Structure 1
Amino acid sequence: MAALRRTLHLASLAAGTRRTVAGSLAGSCLADRSLWDKLHAQPRQGSVCTFDWFFGYEEAQGLLLPLLEKSRAACPPRVLDVGCGTSSLCTGLYTKCPHPVDVLGVDFSPVAVAHMNSLLEGGQGQTPLCPGHPESSLHFMQADGQNLQPLASSGSFQLVLDKGTWDAVARGGLPGAYQLLAECLRVLSPQGTLIQFSDEDPDVRLPCLEKGSQGWTVTVQELGPFRGITYFAYVVQGSD
């Protein structure tokens, strides 16, 4: 798939670290947890605290904030970032969203979850993260996106985010990717929205999503280009 044939563009990492990360992922199975444990354990240069596939919160906020504004009937709306890694999506929503929001980031890598909890709480000499709205909250938990039963009941989130997680899981086989999708839709409110961020071509991704999301509306929006690459937001929504 296109997202994994291209070099990962990690804007939040220094150039030397980018080369190391790209090299460590080349030819690897991105569905392997040990790979991500190793990646997230790599030392970060300077004040860099996050690692983003494709792009970070700043590039996604124009799509996310209107959806959260629309979801304010659930106050605060609950957001789930599946396969959050050490991305800036969760922290950006928590620290910069002007509306109250309850954000949960989950990842199967305990290394990633420990890092993000440390960042949230101000570990390693850093200042704790401050919410953009006093009623906002942020939590991180270790969980497999293909089995969210232990931590999330059906219909409990208004917005579910997947930035590159389908791409990674699909490297281990499409059945796993479809199971990930099924779990995302299970925990999504009937009026909620699932967004998959990817650079995979719509001709490839849309048939998969339409097959796995029967009864939901599937659309696609272009994002970018960012650093010369056009990305896509695959939007799966329930009825209004």
Structure 2
Amino acid sequence: MLLLNRFAVSLRHFQKLTKPRRWHHTSLTNELIENMDKKATWDRFYAENGSKGKFKNFEWFFGFHAVQEFILPVIQTMSHFHSHPLHILDMGCGTSALGPCVYKHSPCAVNVTCADISPVAIRLLEEHTNTLSLQSQNPSSVLSFIEMDCTQLRGQFESRSLDLILDKGTTDALVRSNEGRVKAGQIIRQCLQVLRTSGSLLQFSDEDPDARLVWLEREIRETDQAADVGVQEVGELRGVSYFCYQITPRVASHLKL
């Protein structure tokens, strides 16, 4: 069941939340909505959001506790196949607490990387997390932060090196921007290349399955990597339904995970 977070916001309701008067009469709102695939607009958004005083995690859609029942069981299952810490990427993390919370709450050893195209967001999130002195349940767990364009995953990660990729709103932001749908497709293809054959991509989205499943399956067909796509309903928040899409590389039956 979804937990209400007053700093969580649906992309559908972003324009209502960020009325121009709340941003000092700047053009930030329209610029961000139309250019969610651009680094400069995110730098500006997080710079203005971070200038308001005491830091608060800005959560797109919802926070970790709303979806921990989708994430932690996947981690637990994957841990049965590996002796090493699972490498988890929070892709397009912004200043969300999702990645740090996975690091903190996972009973299995995890190596969590929080990545975002905005160096401003990464700096704010890392500085805030460091002040919390988070203690992980597993002493072998690691948490790191990197600036990265998520359409260039292969430039940062080796093929078949990631166990789990989390996408909470990143793809949704791209497909809503003027030129972002092509980049969103690039991310799907890159994810399938860097995921282990036992890994998964979890997309949290407010897009209806009738549209998102068709798009995902079309993008996957354009790759040389077969994959299975599933969906579960997360719940409803402020009248908006959310879903968890799980994309898993399809492995030949003779291969051992």
> Is TM > 0.5 for Structure 1 vs Structure 2?
yes
Q: Which residue of 2 aligns with 1:29?
A: 35
Q: Name the Cα RMSD after superposition.
A: 2.6
Distance 2:228 2:66 in 1: 24
Q: Which residue of 1 aligns with 2:66?
A: 59
Distance 1:132 1:39 in 2: 33
Contact map agreement 2:87 2:162 (CA 8 A) in 1: yes
Q: How high is the sequence identity, in percent, across the aligned residues?
A: 36
SS in 1 for 2:42: helix
SS in 2 for 1:148: helix
SS in 1 for 2:245: strand
Q: How does 1:131-170 map to 2 (within 5 A)?
A: 131-170=136-175
Quick check: which has more Rg, 1 or 2?
Answer: 2
Q: Name the stretch that deviates more: 70-79 or 59-68.
A: 70-79
Q: Which runs of 5+ in 1 are unaligned?
A: 10-14
Give TM-score scaled by structure 2 length. Answer: 0.80
Contact map agreement 2:105 2:136 (CA 8 A) in 1: yes
Distance 1:8 1:88 in 2: 19
CA shift in 2, pair 1:100/1:20, >3 Å: farther
Kindly indicate which of the two structures has a greater share of residues assigned to helix: 2
In the alignment, structure 1 residue 218 sits paired with structure 2 residue 229: yes
SS in 1 for 2:34: coil
Distance 1:177 1:43 in 2: 27
Moved over 6 A (4+): none
Distance 1:194 1:138 in 2: 19
Match of 2:119 among 106, 110, 117: 110
Give TM-score scaled by structure 1 length. Answer: 0.85
CA shift in 2, pair 1:150/1:164, >3 Å: same
Match of 2:90 among 81, 86, 97: 81
Q: Name the stretch that deviates more: 189-198 or 37-46.
A: 37-46
Q: Which runs of 5+ in 2 are unaligned?
A: 1-9, 252-256
Distance 1:45 1:58 in 2: 25
> Which whole-Å deviations, capped at 9, do the CAs of 1:196-219 have from their partners, x for residues lacking one?
111011121111110122410011
**Which amino acid in the other structure matches residue 32 of structure 1?**
K
* Alignment size in residue pairs: 228
Contact map agreement 2:39 2:118 (CA 8 A) in 1: yes
> Which whole-Å deviations, capped at 9, do the CAs of 1:4-30 have from their partners, x for residues lacking one?
4x2139xxxxx899x847x94344321
CA shift at 1:121, angstroms?
Answer: 2.3
In the alignment, structure 1 residue 203 sits paired with structure 2 residue 214: no
SS in 1 for 2:13: coil
Q: Which residue of 2 aligns with 1:12?
A: none
